[in-house]
């Protein structure tokens, strides 16, 4: 058996609830593929701040760097919003991504089974849609300097800097093309080249990288148009590569295809340790009420199997178990007529039962 060290960071809000369900799926799937798990749990986000005074304790960061993969629940919530910006929960997440050099964030948005009826969009618009957003994760306006709030000419001014180096653009473009080549060989690069010099530069470099992938079809689209097109005709897209902020926004827009952020997993890769987390936030308004949808977190385990451990079959096994479960059961966020509404814990149990039945 191969031993894999995995850091579990449940985080805040519904994070611990969805993480608990994902971990039991992880424990079930691992031995099927001769994996022995060495699981370690550490705090991150607001929970970590309450315990240690920092959203990313050194102990958590060290454990992450010494793991084969990280499984993260969610961070943040109103409780910690009054804190200084430097110690808010989200800063812990950003630092973790940066320290692990996770520059590529993969966010798939696809319709699973008959979930098409859970979308607020027309069935004929979303049925068959399958989009992968490749988001640059460690650069751009979220990390650019100078940044801050200062007084100028007698009034306060807030400012952030959108900056990308050529090497940053080249490496994320390469990931975008590589992902596209494993899918339908269509890559859409999203920018705002008509008004932002930094993303005009982005377009230039992505085009240059595209010369190394002659079998891939490259197109460019402005971010505002891309947001509209995802809602108007999501099936036109295969793989999308874009900046940190645009990727953050557009992947949430793509969530409308599935009807809920609770269905969207993600993988952050690029360094030696991959991190896997649901796209949704901590949803403090339903924390502790067993209402959360754990499927994004469970599907994130599948992405871990695929991208960190090169076990595509394990990912497909988890997806199939989720699809089978959705035929009968739904959490409140994706509830549809004819289905049985269940809570977070029971949804995890139903997916586990499907896995057991299919691999007994």
**Spatial separation of the C-alpha atoms in residues 41 and 61, rounded to whole Å:** 12
Is residue 235 flagged as an active site residue?
no
Is residue 142 flagged as an active site residue?
yes
- By C-alpha distance, which of 15, 217, 183, 31 is closest to 109? 183
Task: Name the β-bridge partners of 109.
Answer: 131
Do 12 and 89 form a contact (C-beta atoms < 8 A)?
yes
- 3-state DSSP assignment of residue 196: coil
Query: What does the chain come to in residues?
Result: 360
Is residue 291 flagged as an active site residue?
no
- Active-site residue among 62, 212, 224, 233? 224
Is residue 49 flagged as an active site residue?
no
Do 38 and 243 form a contact (C-beta atoms < 8 A)?
no
- By C-alpha distance, which of 245, 265, 272 is closest to 190? 245
Is residue 12 flagged as an active site residue?
no
- Active-site residue among 49, 103, 112, 142? 142
- Active-site residue among 12, 68, 248, 333? 248
- Active-site residue among 192, 238, 291, 307? 192
**Spatial separation of the C-alpha atoms in residues 285 and 74, rounded to whole Å:** 13
- 3-state DSSP assignment of residue 280: coil
- By C-alpha distance, which of 12, 69, 22, 3 is closest to 46? 12
- Active-site residue among 252, 307, 315, 350? 252
Catalytic residues: 142, 192, 224, 248, 252
């Amino acid at each position: 058996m191969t031993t894999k060290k995995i850091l579990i960071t449940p985080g805040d809000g519904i994070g611990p609830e969805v993480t608990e369900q994902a971990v039991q799926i992880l424990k079930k799937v691992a031995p099927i593929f001769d994996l022995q798990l060495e699981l370690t749990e550490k705090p991150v986000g607001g929970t970590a701040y309450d315990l240690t005074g920092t959203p990313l304790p050194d102990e958590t960061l060290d454990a992450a760097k010494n793991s084969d993969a990280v499984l993260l629940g969610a961070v943040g919530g109103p409780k910690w919003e009054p804190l200084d910006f430097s110690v808010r929960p989200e800063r812990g997440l950003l630092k973790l991504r940066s320290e692990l050099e996770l520059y590529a964030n993969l966010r798939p948005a696809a319709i699973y089974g008959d979930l098409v009826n859970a979308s607020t969009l027309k069935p004929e618009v979303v049925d068959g849609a399958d989009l992968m957003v490749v988001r640059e994760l460690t650069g751009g306006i979220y990390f650019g300097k100078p940044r801050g709030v200062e007084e100028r000419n007698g009034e306060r001014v807030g400012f952030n800097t959108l900056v990308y180096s050529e090497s940053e653009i080249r490496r994320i473009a390469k990931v975008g093309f590589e992902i596209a080549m494993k899918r339908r060989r269509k890559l859409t690069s999203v920018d705002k080249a008509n008004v932002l010099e930094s993303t005009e530069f982005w377009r230039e470099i992505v085009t240059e990288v595209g010369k190394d992938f002659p079998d891939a079809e490259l197109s460019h689209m402005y971010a505002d148009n891309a947001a509209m097109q995802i809602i108007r005709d999501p099936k036109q897209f295969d793989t999308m590569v874009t900046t940190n902020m645009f990727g953050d926004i557009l992947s949430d827009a793509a969530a409308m295809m599935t009807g809920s952020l609770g269905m969207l997993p993600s993988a952050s890769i690029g360094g030696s340790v991959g991190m896997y987390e649901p796209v949704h936030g901590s949803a403090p308004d339903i924390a502790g009420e067993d209402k959360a949808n754990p499927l994004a977190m469970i599907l994130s385990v599948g992405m871990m199997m695929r991208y960190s451990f090169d076990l595509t079959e394990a990912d497909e096994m988890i997806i199939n178990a989720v699809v089978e479960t959705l035929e009968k059961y739904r959490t409140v966020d994706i509830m549809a007529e004819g289905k049985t509404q269940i809570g977070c814990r029971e949804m995890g149990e139903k997916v586990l039962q499907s896995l057991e039945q299919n691999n007994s």
